[in-house]
Amino acid sequence: MCGIIGYTGNENAVPKITKGLSVLEYRGYDSVGIAARTGNGIETVKCRGRIGALEEKLEANPITDCSCAIGHTRWATHGGPSDINAHPHRAGRVVLVHNGIIENYKELKSEMSAKGDRFLSETDTEVAAAVLNDEYGKLGTPAEAIRKAIARMTGSYAFGILFEDLPGEVWAVRCGSPLILAKGTDGYYLASDMTALLPFTKEYHCLEEGQLAHLTPNSAELITADGETVTPTWSVTAMTPESAQKGGYPHFMLKEIYEQPEAIVKSVSPRIKGGLPDFSADGISPDFWAKVKNIQIVACGSATHAGLVGGRILEQVAQVPTSSYIASEYRYHPPLAVDGTLVVVISQSGETADTLAALRYAKQKGLPTLAIVNAVETTIAREADYRIYTYAGPEIAVATTKGYCTQVSVLYMIAAAIAHSCGRICEADAKELVRSVLEDAPVAIHQMLEQTDALRRMAGDICHHEHVFYIGRGLDYAMSQEASLKLKEISYIHCEAYAAGELKHGTISLIEEGTPVIAISTEAALYDKTESNVREVYSRGARVILICRDDAKNPQASADDVILLPTTSGAATLFAALAAVQVLAYETAVLRGCDIDRPRNLAKSVTVE
């Protein structure tokens, strides 16, 4: 939702903060700011716009004598994008940056106003600063003041804090929003995620819920919820600065689409033993799978769509009843949990607040939880009973591609593991399924990416339209939902996914001459039915792109364009279709001149509910 960063050490802080913020921009980019500790106290520079706007201000009025600072890039929640609402926010001797939402900020604002505080912005963050300053004025010790202040707040937060009378010190605390500490040769850092700190260090520590951090130029200490002071244990990240850069591609999204074959191999290989699915390295034994009688998949956005596709594969292959739920709805009409229910939460970032809340709800109900997460050691990964990482590497583009792709590949492997553990498929079939995901899927994606010119031409046919429809049946209806989201979130074209058989019950009235309809047909058994739905729209003037198997009979009969998919295996067909719809969305957005990696109004990790 927002990105925060801080530094204290023996070097100039300002360029470190601005460099880190430029990496964190994918978390939110409608306003930006820095609070720099100088000989004159704490100077704040902030504005609406992206990091470039802040750098212009700093070039005009350089801050040089500063070795301690905090910075923030914002995705607006309370109060629109503006100079005044940009972070950092100050109250008395406190200056802070915030990622999250203070849900009771209105009550606190009334309380503080009654005490004489005056507020300049519309934000909950300025209120949090006032509350902390209030407590600091009473107690005079930062740790106790922070504890008392957060006890008065409800909601989610990660705070980076400077105190006017504590030069060189950076304080931090988190609850519900991520915060990483890092140790450099030049001092100590904090950030919302590690990608921002890769240019400076690889040694990091994930701050736990409720823990305080106290950084000075030469030390870092943690203060636990019961007041104990401990020294952080530092881990070394496998990420490199290059892995967080574009690597020659015009956009992170395209780089990440091309990284999918390798990402599948990296995610699947560690879960194969003797050619069979094996999750023992993840702490999950075969008899764990044998006990699974029912699966609830809970996630948001594309992760939900991965769950929809994966859920059908789990039912088809493992014959386990599987239902998918939107995380933000899950708690409000919780499904009945029969014996043997496993709740699987899926999250690329591992920090999505809606998914985290659903995970906590499931745990409260005593249900076993398994998280499929890409970002290592994130809150969702740490709080689930079990976790399976998708080793896709850092995903920077807001629109997920390799994150989604590897989630589906892991769900394929889980389906094979359950089916084999329960004796529902023989060893040879389990090995074939594993092989198809490990070998056929990456090849199929590579082959589809070689058709980019044709896909770019088709993108030219749809990019001027206001409305586009995806249709499919069964697994293809599930796939259509991700295809539709990809197109709308980066090209801003209104796009809907419909069950192909459902069109004639109403939606077909929207079809007029030239309306683009993209039909996905990967399942041979459903081709004839889907083809007849395609004919229904084609005969009414729709411009049809048919994405179908290469063994389909006469696909050109009712389509303007056909994209053929390999039929070497189900996995090959499915992942080729995925690559096709991702590239179609990407090329359409390029033709429309959209900001591919940072679409308007969106953020990579939505850490508020």
Q: Which stretch binds ligand AGP (CB under 6 A): 98-106, 126-134, 349-357, 586-594?
A: 349-357
Q: How many CA atoms does the CB half-sphere of 80 hold within 13 Å?
A: 0
Distance CA 445, CA 432 (A): 19
Q: Which is nearer to ligand AGP, 398 or 546 (CB)?
A: 398
Among 124, 135, 259, 489, binds ligand AGP (CB under 6 A): 489
Distance CA 605, CA 483 (A): 20
Among 355, 530, 573, 582, binds ligand AGP (CB under 6 A): 355
Instruction: Show the tokens assigned to 358.
Output: 């659903």
| Burial classification of residue 289, based on how many CB atoms lie within 10 Å of its CB (0-12 exposed, 13-18 middle, 19 or more buried) | buried
Helix (H, G, I), strand (E, B) or coil at 563: strand
Q: Which stretch binds ligand AGP (CB under 6 A): 188-196, 235-243, 394-402, 433-441?
A: 394-402
- Shortest distance, position 31 Cβ to ligand AGP, whole Å: 21
> Cβ of 127: how many Cβ atoms within 10 Å?
27
Among 31, 133, 347, 436, binds ligand AGP (CB under 6 A): 347
Angle, alpha carbons 186-188-191 (nearest 5°): 125
- Shortest distance, position 163 Cβ to ligand AGP, whole Å: 33
Q: Which stretch binds ligand AGP (CB under 6 A): 161-169, 181-189, 236-244, 294-302?
A: 294-302
Q: Give the rounded distance of the alpha carbon of 408 from its chain centre.
A: 15
As beta bridge partners, residue 370 has 344, 386
Q: Which stretch binds ligand AGP (CB under 6 A): 95-103, 295-303, 427-435, 522-530?
A: 295-303
- Shortest distance, position 398 Cβ to ligand AGP, whole Å: 5
Which residue matches tokens 């067909």? 573
As beta bridge partners, residue 393 has none
Distance CA 50, CA 226 (A): 39
Q: Which is nearer to ligand AGP, 211 or 349 (CB)?
A: 349
Among 102, 300, 572, 596, binds ligand AGP (CB under 6 A): 300
Among 195, 267, 352, 588, binds ligand AGP (CB under 6 A): 352
Instruction: Show the tokens assigned to 157.
Output: 């937060």
Q: Are 342 and 363 in contact (CB under 8 A)?
A: no
Q: Which is nearer to ligand AGP, 220 or 373 (CB)?
A: 373
Question: Does 301 help bind ligand AGP (rule: CB under 6 A)?
Answer: yes
- Shortest distance, position 220 Cβ to ligand AGP, whole Å: 28
Q: Which is nearer to ligand AGP, 400 or 480 (CB)?
A: 400
Per-residue b/e over 225-259, b at no fewer than 16 CB within 10 Å? eeeeeeebeeeebebeeeebbbeeeebbbbbbbbb
Sites for ligand AGP among residues 395-414 (CB under 6 A) = 398-400
Among 349, 481, 558, 582, binds ligand AGP (CB under 6 A): 349
Q: Which residues are catalytic?
A: 2, 604
Amino acid letter, residue 517: V
Residue nearest to ligand AGP (CB): 301
Question: Does 544 help bind ligand AGP (rule: CB under 6 A)?
Answer: no
Among 158, 191, 292, 303, binds ligand AGP (CB under 6 A): 303
Count of residues touching ligand AGP (by CB under 6 A) = 15
Q: Which stretch binds ligand AGP (CB under 6 A): 85-93, 95-103, 180-188, 300-308?
A: 300-308
DSSP string, 367-423: --EEEEESSTT-HHHHHSSEEEE-------SSS-SHHHHHHHHHHHHHHHHHHHHTT
Q: Are 214 and 227 in contact (CB under 8 A)?
A: no
Question: Does 25 help bind ligand AGP (rule: CB under 6 A)?
Answer: no
Question: Does 256 help bind ligand AGP (rule: CB under 6 A)?
Answer: no
Question: Does 348 help bind ligand AGP (rule: CB under 6 A)?
Answer: yes
Q: Which is nearer to ligand AGP, 96 or 303 (CB)?
A: 303
- Shortest distance, position 355 Cβ to ligand AGP, whole Å: 5
Phi, psi of 107 (to 5 degrees): -65, -40
DSSP string, 8-49: EESS-HHHHHHHHHHHHGGG--SEEEEEEEETTEEEEEEEES
Q: Which is nearer to ligand AGP, 158 or 170 (CB)?
A: 158
Phi, psi of 321 (to 5 degrees): -55, 125
Interacting residues toward ligand AGP by CB under 6 A:
300-303, 347-349, 352, 355, 398-400, 489, 605-606
